[in-house]
């Protein structure tokens, strides 16, 4: 027995010795950068909140000169919600917006429902194709009442990105925003997200809204009317996760003007630029991420001054997976998308030509988003082994783990603090206790599970396995901060 | 050992303290917010019905009520101010005047006039916004001065505020603010202009001949939106002259075209048709010309549209097919 | 017996202002904070008139009118819609849904009361 254990022990001892300093360095850098992001995010919030009163949204809402917005809504078998979703978008407070629904070859009553509810007739007008589209268009429709700004494109199934590309061809307004049929939008969402375009029309090329967890909220006719904590374990954890990743992560990056990830569930873009960039990449899994990277690349290469802005104001709510199976699929997909986009744009990484995007944001995503689950799993594997073989002593290992997890809890607490100081949508004391307990509990089980799923996604990407998720995943691409 | 015990111990202690501080901060913020909300409910109940009575009181009763609300002290008084500031943009007529006189009597106007020359840009912007809501002739001078503030945000808020205040004498200043050099987005300044009453078309006729593209754009947009037919000819001239300008701008051409359409200025029909089919014009200009053509009334215009349908690109045809 | 009027608006300030004004004109006023509650009240209590905002959480004013008219039996009470400036689309779809009149915000409570009196006098 001993002669097998001895070399193993030596091997583990050796592993510990060679990884000790890299792991320690990694740990220090990741935590410091998180802290820095928190600081940048606080700066971002303070300025946002102090300006909240004079946003001029009342004036913009009533101005015929506000830039027009095309709301693109791809729909695949959304028959149950489509009529209400379209109504909710038409009712948004904005002076000039149209809805473009792209029926992605639904096999249910999605199209018929729209035709019946909005009294659609066939639209004979031809569409000029500016962005190439794969799925063949069967027919386009518009309302008999031409004052009702709705266009429905019926096409063969070809996926979310391709549908959005078709939507780009049909859209006629200066700005486009992509929403999912099951996203719940606040009445002021278009005003809030388009505001940077009105205030700085020369430089702003894209804005990304925050996405919040709709699970548990009371929803009436497509609007969130009361915000509550869900009962479901996975949904609860994701609330804290989303707060952390959006409120701290995105706001921090936006402050550094190197926001490279805009949520697909609610991102707004200048239509001319998105068309010039060639629309969405229908082959990419992280198509929203890919698009923003492409825009960054385009702008940096043309040496133009531009801005991509994150909007912290909660305006878009989406249902998050509440079962392990669906969540696993989502996280595998996200991580796979992350890998694909990062490798595709590897030439920009550490390339001073691309400024802070190349020098800060991309390296950060490589090291702390992509590799993080590997390090996490390595720790899960090696520490117990080390303990078992007596290479490390128990109190020491416990102290080390305590530091790692305490830090994670601290970051979650900071996110809760920022939320409480800014938007405080979770009003009750009970919500706070739930959020607190969740920030502790997620460290045991959830964290490790997501690490496994993310590794699986990465592995699938490396093996180049073809995408077989079947149904369209709805939330688009969100990477979660660790 | 990988990391010394001391370092680990210190890290644990620091993190535990950090967590406790963060937690305490969350609890304090939440608790004080709840307490504030409770206090507000108490205040609300105390003064709300008095504020609402502004809508029904008349003559001496109204004067007495204004006096009463104006002299309400402390947090209750702050509450009166907040409620009125929230309500004023929603109402007009007698009630609005009564509400503004309460705020003026509370010294809000005086305080804002002081704050607009404060050193903090946020204070100045906040003051500009309040002055817009309060309105009246005395706010125009400080607000037009704020259009040239060194801070862009203050300039922007001041432009919007002038629109809210809606006094005709702000017109010339807002037209100047359309200039590209002001940094104020022209849609913001033009929107404010749309809100001003009794405007003088000659300001815009001059604006259409200005050397600054921003001023030309804004003038063109406002002339169309406010249906100033006196300026139609100048608008058409501006459209024709734009191509020969040194700083010719697509945005100006598009705005001129749209406004000519809104004004149904028939002499421009054939030129608009030309632009809508021109390969040298950008796609957005062609589409704007198409939209204008669509709006033109009369048999002649219908004939022109039929010709354009044969020559124009798909986007323009898409616009014209309904006409 | 005084006329009973329902005021539906999510903004408590407007709700209170309008009801104060109408009560002083001698009407009996009830209020609702959103379209869903408004629809419920309008269906079950007989009002002489409904005044409703357009933009409300849950159900918009226009939707509320649409559902009132589509109910079985239809609720045919006259409705005045309070719309925001430059929202011609709301006015259009409001009339399509069956409103009687509209008032644009910012509005004058005095003018609103006059319109109410005019409609009730018909």
pLDDT tens sequence across A458-476: 998 888 755 544 343 433 3
CA distance B165 to B161: 6
CB of A174 closer than 8 Å to CB of A275:
no
Burial of A114-142, coded b for 16+ CB within 10 Å and e otherwise, reads bbeebebeebebebeebbebebebeebbb
The residue of chain B nearest to residue A49, with distances taken between CA atoms, is B122
User: Between vectors from CA B177 to CA B172 and to CA B179, what angle results, nearest 5°?
Assistant: 110
| 3-state secondary structure (DSSP) of residue A119 | coil
Q: How many helices (H) and strands (E) does chain C have?
A: 5, 5
Q: Are the Cβ atoms of A63 and C59 closer than 8 angstroms?
A: no
Q: Are B5 and A24 within 8 A, CB to CB?
A: no
C-alpha B88/C-alpha B134 separation (Å) is 9
Query: Do the beta carbons of residue C79 and residue C98 sit within 8 Å?
Result: yes
Nearest to B187 among A66, A407, A416 (CB): A66
Chain B residue whose CA is closest to C11: B87
User: Which of left, alpha, beta for A366 (phi over 0: left; psi -120 to 50: alpha)?
Assistant: alpha
Chain A with chain B: Cβ pairs closer than 8 A? 117
Enumerate helices (H) and strands (E) in chain A, giving the number of each. Answer: 17, 12
Q: How far is C119 from chain A (nearest CA, A)?
A: 27
DSSP state of C37: H
* Chain C interface with A: residues with Cβ < 8 Å: 34-36, 55, 57-60, 62-63, 84-87, 89, 92-93, 96
Residue C42 confidence (pLDDT): 92
Residue A225, min C-alpha distance to chain C (Å): 6
pTM above 0.95, yes or no: no
For residue C60, which residues of chain A lie inside 8 Å, CB to CB?
91
Q: How confident is the model at residue A480 (pLDDT cuts 50, 70, 90)?
A: very low
Local structure of A322: helix, strand or coil: coil
Say what the pLDDT of residue A350 is: 92
> Which residues are CB-contacts of A374 (< 8 A; sequence separation ≥ 6)?
A455, A458
Going by their DSSP bridges, the two strands A267-270 and A184-185 should be labelled as unpaired
Q: Which chain C residues have a beta carbon less than 8 Å from that of A224?
A: 57
Most A CBs within 10 Å, among C60, C64, C90, C94, to test the A interface:
C60
* C84 contacts A147? CB cut-off 8 A: no
Q: Using 50, 70 and 90 to split pLDDT, how confident is the model at A478?
A: very low
Interface contact flag, A417 B26, Cβ < 8 Å: yes
Q: Is the pLDDT of residue A31 over 50?
A: yes
Least confident among A44-53, B120-129, B190-199, C16-25: A44-53
A182 with A199: CB under 8 angstroms? no
Q: Which of C93, C94, C106, C89 is nearest to C50 (CA)?
A: C94
* Shortest distance, CA C53 to any CA of chain B (angstroms): 12
With beta carbons under 8 A apart, name residues in chain A contacting C62: 91
Output the CA–CA distances (angstroms, integers) from residue B289 to A36, B187, B225, B272, B316, in the order listed: 51, 20, 16, 5, 8
Tell me the angle at which helices A394-421 and A2-50 cross, rounded to the nearest 10 degrees: 20
Q: Residue C86: closest CA among chain A residues belongs to which residue?
A: A62
Please give the pLDDT value at position A1: 55
Confirm or reject contact between B87 and chain C (CB < 8 A).
yes
Min Cα–Cα distance to chain B from A127, Å: 7
Average pLDDT of chain A, as a whole number: 85
Using CB atoms, which chains have 3+ pairs under 8 A with A? B, C
Asked whether A7 and A214 are in contact (CB, 8 A), the reply is no
Chain A residue numbers touching B220 (CB-CB < 8 A): none
Please tell me the least confidently modeled range out of A10-14, A173-177, A351-355, B91-95.
A10-14
pLDDT at site C16: 92
- Report CA A377 to chain centroid distance, whole Å: 24
Instruction: Tell the burial category of B231 from Cβ atoms under 10 Å away from its Cβ (0-12, 13-18, 19+).
Output: buried
Backbone angles phi, psi at A277, to 5 degrees: -75, -10
Contacts of C20 in chain B (CB under 8 A): 49, 52-53, 55-56
Instruction: Dump strand ranges (E) for A228-328.
Output: 267-270, 307-318
Q: Please, which residues have CB within 8 angstroms of residue A237's CB and are 6 or more apart in sequence?
A: A438, A441, A442, A446
Q: Cβ contact (<8 Å) for A147 and C85?
A: no
| Angle, CA of A392, A393 and A397, to the nearest 5° | 80
CA A170 – CA A140 distance, rounded (Å): 9
| Residue A32 burial (10 A CB sphere; 0-12, 13-18, 19+) | exposed
By C-alpha distance, the chain C residue nearest B44 is C13
Edge to edge, the sheet with strand A204-213 lists A120-122, A137-143, A150-155, A97-104, A69-75, A175-178, A267-270, A204-213, A307-318, A184-185
Cβ of residue B61 closer than 8 Å to a chain C Cβ: no
In this prediction, residue A53 carries a pLDDT of 65
Among A396, A420, A301, smallest CA distance to A45 is for: A420
List the one residue out of A163, A180, A173, A214 whose CA is nearest residue A194. Answer: A173
Q: How far is C72 from chain B (nearest CA, A)?
A: 35
pLDDT of C118 reads 93
C18 has a pLDDT exceeding 90: yes
Q: Cβ separation of C106 and B91 shorter than 8 Å?
A: yes
Say if residue A227's pLDDT is above 90.
no
Query: Are B3 and A24 inside 8 Å of each other by CB?
Result: yes
Closest alpha carbon within chain A to B18: A410
Q: Write down the pLDDT at residue A475.
A: 38
Could you list the pLDDT tens digit for every one of the 323 residues in chain B?
456 778 788 888 988 999 999 999 999 999 999 998 888 888 888 888 889 999 888 888 899 999 999 988 888 888 899 889 889 988 988 899 999 999 999 999 999 999 999 998 889 999 999 999 888 888 999 999 999 999 988 999 999 999 999 899 998 899 999 888 888 888 899 999 998 988 889 999 999 999 999 999 999 999 999 899 999 999 999 999 988 888 888 889 999 999 999 999 999 999 999 999 988 888 889 999 999 999 898 888 999 999 998 888 888 888 888 76
CA angle C31, C36, C39 (to 5 degrees): 70
B86, C13: Cβ pair inside 8 Å? yes
Torsions phi, psi for A273 (to 5 deg): -70, -45
Contacting subunits of B (3+ beta carbon pairs below 8 A)? A, C
Number of A–C residue contacts, CB under 8 Å:
40
């Amino acid at each position: 027995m001993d002669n097998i254990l001895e070399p193993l022990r030596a091997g583990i001892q050796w592993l510990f010795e060679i990884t000790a300093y890299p792991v320690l360095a990694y740990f220090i850098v990741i935590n410091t950068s998180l802290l820095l992001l928190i600081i940048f995010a606080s700066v971002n919030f303070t300025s946002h909140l102090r300006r909240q009163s004079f946003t001029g949204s009342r004036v913009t809402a009533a101005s015929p000169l506000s830039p027009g917005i095309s709301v693109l809504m791809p729909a695949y078998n959304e028959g149950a919600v489509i009529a209400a979703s379209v109504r909710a978008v038409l009712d948004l407070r904005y002076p000039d917006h149209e809805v473009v629904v792209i029926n992605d070859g639904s096999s249910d009553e999605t199209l018929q429902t729209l035709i019946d509810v909005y009294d659609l007739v066939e639209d004979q007008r031809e569409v000029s194709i500016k962005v190439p589209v794969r799925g063949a268009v069967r027919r386009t429709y518009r309302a008999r009442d031409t004052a009702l700004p709705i266009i429905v494109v019926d096409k063969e199934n070809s996926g979310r990105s391709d549908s959005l590309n078709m939507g780009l061809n049909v859209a006629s307004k200066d700005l486009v925003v992509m929403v999912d049929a099951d996203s719940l939008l606040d009445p002021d969402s278009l005003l809030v997200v388009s505001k940077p375009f009105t205030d700085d029309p020369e430089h702003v090329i894209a804005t990304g809204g925050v996405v919040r967890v709709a699970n548990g909220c009371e929803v009436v006719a497509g609007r969130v009317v009361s915000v509550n904590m869900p009962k479901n374990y996975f949904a609860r954890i994701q609330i804290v996760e989303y707060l952390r990743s959006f409120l701290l992560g995105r706001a921090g990056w936006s402050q550094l003007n190197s926001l490279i990830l805009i949520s697909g569930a609610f991102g707004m873009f200048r239509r001319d630029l998105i068309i010039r960039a060639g629309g969405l990449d229908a082959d990419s899994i992280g198509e929203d991420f890919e698009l923003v990277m492409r825009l960054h690349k385009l702008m940096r290469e043309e040496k133009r001054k531009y801005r991509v802005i994150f909007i912290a104001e909660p305006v878009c709510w989406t249902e998050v997976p509440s079962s392990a199976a669906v969540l696993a699929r989502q996280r595998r997909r996200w991580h796979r998308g992350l890998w694909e986009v990062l490798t595709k744009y590897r030439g920009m990484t550490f390339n001073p030509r691309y400024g802070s995007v190349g020098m800060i944001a991309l390296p950060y995503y490589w090291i702390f988003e992509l590799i993080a689950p590997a390090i996490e799993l390595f720790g899960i594997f090696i520490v117990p082994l080390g303990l078992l073989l007596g290479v490390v002593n128990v109190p020491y290992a416990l102290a080390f783990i305590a530091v790692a997890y305490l830090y994670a809890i601290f970051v979650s607490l900071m996110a809760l603090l920022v939320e409480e100081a800014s938007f405080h949508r979770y009003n009750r004391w009970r919500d706070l206790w739930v959020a607190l307990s969740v920030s502790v509990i997620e460290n045991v089980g959830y964290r490790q599970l997501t690490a496994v799923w993310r590794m699986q996604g990465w592995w699938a990407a490396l093996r180049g396995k073809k995408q077989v998720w079947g149904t369209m995943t709805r939330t688009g691409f969100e990477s979660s901060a660790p | 050992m990988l990391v010394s015990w001391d370092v680990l111990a210190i890290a644990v202690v620091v993190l535990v303290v950090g967590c406790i501080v963060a937690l305490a901060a969350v609890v304090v913020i939440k608790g004080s917010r709840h307490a504030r909300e409770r206090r507000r409910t108490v205040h609300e109940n105390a003064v709300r019905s008095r504020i609402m009575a502004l809508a029904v009181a008349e003559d001496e009763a109204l004067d007495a009520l204004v006096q009463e609300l104006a002299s309400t002290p402390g947090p209750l008084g702050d509450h009166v101010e907040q409620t009125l500031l929230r309500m004023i943009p929603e109402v007009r007529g007698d009630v609005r005047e009564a509400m503004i006189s309460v705020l003026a009597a509370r010294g809000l106007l005086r305080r804002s006039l002081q704050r607009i020359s404060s050193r903090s840009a946020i204070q100045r912007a906040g003051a500009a916004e309040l002055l817009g809501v309060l309105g009246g002739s005395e706010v125009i001078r400080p607000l037009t001065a704020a259009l040239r503030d060194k801070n862009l945000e203050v300039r922007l808020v001041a432009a919007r505020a002038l629109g809210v205040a809606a006094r005709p004498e702000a017109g010339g200043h807002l037209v100047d603010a359309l200039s590209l050099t002001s940094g104020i987005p022209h849609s913001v300044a033009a929107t404010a202009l749309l809100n001003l009453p009794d405007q003088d078309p000659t300001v815009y006729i001059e604006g259409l001949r200005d050397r600054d593209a921003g001023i030309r754009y804004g003038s063109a947009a406002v002339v169309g939106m406010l249906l100033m037919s006196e300026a139609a000819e100048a608008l058409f001239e501006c459209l024709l002259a734009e191509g020969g300008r040194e700083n010719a701008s697509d945005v100006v051409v598009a705005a001129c075209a749209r406004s000519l359409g809104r004004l149904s200025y028939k002499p421009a029909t054939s030129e608009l048709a030309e632009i809508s089919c021109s390969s040298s014009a950008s796609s957005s200009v062609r589409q704007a010309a198409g939209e204008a053509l669509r709006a033109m009334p009369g048999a002649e215009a219908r004939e022109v549209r039929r010709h354009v349908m044969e020559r124009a690109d798909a986007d323009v045809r898409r616009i014209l097919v309904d006409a | 017996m005084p006329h009973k009027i329902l005021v539906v608006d999510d903004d408590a300030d407007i709700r209170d202002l309008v009801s104060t004004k109408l009560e002083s004109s001698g009407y009996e006023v009830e209020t609702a904070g959103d379209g869903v509650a408004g629809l419920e009240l309008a269906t079950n209590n007989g009002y002489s008139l409904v005044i409703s905002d357009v933009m409300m959480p849950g159900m918009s004013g226009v939707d509320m009118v649409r559902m009132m008219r589509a109910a079985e039996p239809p609720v045919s009470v006259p409705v005045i819609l309070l719309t925001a400036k430059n929202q011609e689309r709301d006015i259009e779809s409001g009339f399509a849904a069956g409103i009687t009149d509209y008032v644009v915000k910012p509005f004058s409570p005095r003018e609103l009361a006059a319109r109410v009196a005019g409609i009730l006098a018909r």
